[in-house]
Amino acid sequence: MTQDPLHILKHTFGYPSFRPPQDVIIDTLVQGQDALVIMPTGGGKSLCYQIPAIARPGCGVVISPLIALMQDQVSALEQLGVRAGFLNSTLAPDAASAIERQLVAGELDLLYIAPERLNQARTINLLRQAPLALFAIDEAHCVSQWGHDFRADYLQLGLLAEEFPEIPRIALTATADGRTRAEIAERLHLTQAREFIVGFDRPNIQYRITGKNNPRQQLLGFIRAEHAADSGIVYCLSRKKTEEVAAFLRQEGMTALPYHAGLPAETRAHNQHRFLREDNIIMVATVAFGMGIDKPDVRFVAHLDLPKSVEAYYQETGRAGRDGAPATAWMTYGYQDVILLSQMMSQSDGSLAHKQAERQKLDAMLGLCEITSCRRQTLLRYFGEADHPPCNNCDTCINPVDTWDGTEAARKALSCVYRSGQRFGVSHLVDILLGKDNQKIRQFDHQQLSTFGIGAELDANQWRSVFRQLVARGYLAVDTEGYGGLKLQESCRGLLKGEARIELRRDTKDIKAKRSKHGQ
Ligand code: ADP
Ligand code: ZN
């Protein structure tokens, strides 16, 4: 006998209504069908499997890579009167056997399991003896080898479909891009599952991106002016930097804690615990921090370094304002970030194709930094939502960007790409435009090109910015088959023929955004 989901929502969880499409997802599972759910962080994924697990007879088995959070999740459920447990490597053997007994006896509503555990024959045998309500595969993008959260143990989860064909399964993630979604469906045998893709807009988050010049002082100024009494997260690229920045903020009188994978487990757990329980704490962290963190009142997320993809930026900034109240996503970025990230990518041991895919993702992120139009529009377009109006709650909407007529420069840049055969990268193209005399120029006889030396009115940095913006707006594409050469795209025809004009962004300045009507 199944219980009514709405009744469970109200009486167990204390919420008056579902956030669509939670209700439809829950019904799908209650009726024994599979579901694939793409929902932004903070959207309310947990209830999508917790409620059907309670509603259906038997136990809902949740596979999650977030071992550190299982204890917290289970305690929270127990406080609501839900019979929950977890099995992972942190559990003492007799505690684990107790959970196993409860599972088989049908005394659990929800069981959280680490993926590596599920790959043991022993666990599968155990599950065969137990009454099961459903399988939920959380953070399902971990099955994707393209993403940065890949876990080999997730690859085995496809076997659930074979071992337990009659038990409904739900896979959940906040990662939206099409390739990852297809990979999840295929690897987890969910190609027949009903797909739910929930809107990505987070209207209460104000997006701001500013050029780097003395980033620590910029950060300090931002926090003091707008979030002096708030909780927030500051993301840095390196472990060392998280500790330095945390120390700097402490010197300035703030409560700032570092968090990265190199800290002892107890320190990490302690800092995370303080962040979740106390007010006015700033977590200075690498990307190791955040997956699965449920703190609704994070008022700002600041990036001192460029994230390596739009997906990462969206996911990290999405940790702000989960309660729906105004929050700020603030970032400083500089050319150094791009160089550093590119170096990290080229030194990684992925395949060439993988490196190129990463490079493309970084270019899209840069595109978001350099646009002159609404950031939210661009962000949402990236996730496939094309028809949002300008948001009036991002820096470029609130303080329109200083632009210049880049038509002539763009035309020179594009014809330089064309004349040199559409196979060279930015550095070499800039060298041609500036009329540099170097070995590569001579090797290809490029001093003979009509575009050689025609770009003296701009310096190398400005030319690079022109090229980046042309890539960002889709006039040029980076060749992913070859070695990152730039190619003309259909859309640049108008510019080349002198029929279209283009406004380019002037070097980013520190923009102090006023609060918009959304951000009171
Ligand atoms: P996700 O896993 O998608 O990041 P969570 O499941 O952690 O999000 O939910 C985010 C927050 O929203 C939680 O605090 C949760 O209790 C709350 N929430 C989820 N669904 C509802 C609802 N229908 N009504 C009110 N609050 C909800
Ligand atoms: Zn906007």
Each residue's pLDDT tens digit, 144-188: 887 778 899 999 999 999 999 999 999 999 876 778 889 999 999
- 3-state class of 328 per DSSP? strand
Q: Which residue has the tokens 């820096």?
A: 395
Query: Mind listing the pLDDT tens digit for each residue in 113-143?
Result: 999 998 888 999 999 999 999 999 999 999 9
How far is it, in rounded angstroms, from Cα 56 to Cα 4?
10
Judging by DSSP bridges, how do beta strands 503-505 and 403-405 pair with one another? antiparallel
* Atom 10 of ligand 1, residue of closest alpha carbon: 42
Q: Which residue has the tokens 């014809």?
A: 415
pTM of the full predicted structure? Answer: 0.63
How far is it, in rounded angstroms, from Cα 487 to Cα 117?
48
Please determine, for residue 518, whether its predicted confidence score (pLDDT) is greater than 60: no
- 3-state class of 210 per DSSP? strand
Q: 368 C-alpha to center of ligand 2: Å? A: 12
Q: 235 C-alpha to center of ligand 2: Å? A: 23
Give residue 483's pLDDT: 65
Please determine, for residue 457, whether its predicted confidence score (pLDDT) is greater than 90: yes
Ligand 1 lined by 49 (C-beta under 6 Å) = no
Ligand 1 lined by 47 (C-beta under 6 Å) = yes
Query: What is the number of the ligand closest to the CA of 290?
Result: 1
SS3 track for 340-390: HHHHHHHHCCCCHHHHHHHHHHHHHHHHHHHCCCCHHHHHHHHCCCCCCCC
Q: Which of 231-245, 330-344, 360-374, 417-431 has the lowest mean pLDDT?
A: 330-344
Ligand 1 lined by 18 (C-beta under 6 Å) = yes
Interface predicted TM-score (ipTM) of this complex, two decimals:
0.97
Q: 296 C-alpha to center of ligand 2: Å? A: 23
Nearest to 371 by CA among 504, 474, 270: 504
* Mean predicted confidence (pLDDT) in 372-397: 89
Query: Mind listing the pLDDT tens digit for each residue in 458-470?
Result: 998 889 889 878 8
Ligand 1 lined by 43 (C-beta under 6 Å) = yes
Q: 46 C-alpha to center of ligand 1: Å? A: 7
Q: Which atom of ligand 1 is nearest to the CA of 39?
A: 3
Residue 233 backbone dihedrals phi, psi, to 5 degrees: -120, 135
Apex CA 295: angle with CA 377 and CA 179, to 5°?
A: 45
* Mean predicted confidence (pLDDT) in 218-229: 97
How far is it, in rounded angstroms, from Cα 454 to Cα 245?
44
Q: 49 C-alpha to center of ligand 1: Å? A: 12
Give me the DSSP letters along 221-243: HHHHHH-TTSEEEEE-SSHHHHH
Give residue 335's pLDDT: 63
Ligand 1 lined by 21 (C-beta under 6 Å) = no
Q: Which two tokens stand for residue 465?
A: 């910015």
Give residue 481's pLDDT: 52
Query: Which CA distances in Å does 143 have to 22, 38, 189, 272, 326?
Result: 23, 14, 12, 26, 33
**Long-range contacts from 336-342, C-beta under 8 angstroms, 24+ separation:** 336/212, 337/212, 337/237, 337/305, 337/306, 338/306, 338/362, 338/366, 340/237, 340/305, 341/237, 341/306, 341/308
Query: Are 231 and 281 spatial neighbours (Cβ–Cβ below 8 Å)?
Result: yes
Element (H, E) at 75: helix 67-79
Residue 113 backbone dihedrals phi, psi, to 5 degrees: -130, 140
Per-residue pLDDT band for 480 (boundaries 50, 70, 90) equals: low
* Mean predicted confidence (pLDDT) in 292-313: 90
Q: Which amino acid would we find at residue 249?
A: L
The number of beta carbons lying within 10 Å of the beta carbon of residue 398 is 18
- 3-state class of 409 per DSSP? helix
Q: Which atom of ligand 1 is nearest to the CA of 43?
A: 3
Please say whether the dihedral angle defined by the alpha carbons of residues 118, 123, 126 and 128, taken in this order, is positive or negative: positive
Ligand 1 lined by 19 (C-beta under 6 Å) = yes
Please determine, for residue 292, whether its predicted confidence score (pLDDT) is greater than 80: no
* Mean predicted confidence (pLDDT) in 402-411: 94
Ligand 1 lined by 10 (C-beta under 6 Å) = no
Query: Are 144 and 157 spatial neighbours (Cβ–Cβ below 8 Å)?
Result: no
CA 387 to mean position of chain CA atoms: 21
Q: Which two tokens stand for residue 223?
A: 């926090």
Element (H, E) at 81: none
Give residue 162's pLDDT: 93
Q: Which atom of ligand 1 is nearest to the CA of 9?
A: 23
Ligand 1 lined by 322 (C-beta under 6 Å) = yes
Q: Which atom of ligand 1 is nearest to the CA of 138?
A: 2
* Atom 21 of ligand 1, residue of closest alpha carbon: 44
Ligand 1 lined by 42 (C-beta under 6 Å) = yes
SS3 track for 246-286: HHHHHHCCCCEEEECCCCCHHHHHHHHHHHHHCCCCEEEEC
Q: 398 C-alpha to center of ligand 2: Å? A: 7
Give residue 513's pLDDT: 42
* Mean predicted confidence (pLDDT) in 325-340: 85
- 3-state class of 309 per DSSP? coil
- Cα atoms found within 13 Å of the Cα of residue 293, Cβ hemisphere only: 29
The number of beta carbons lying within 10 Å of the beta carbon of residue 461 is 11
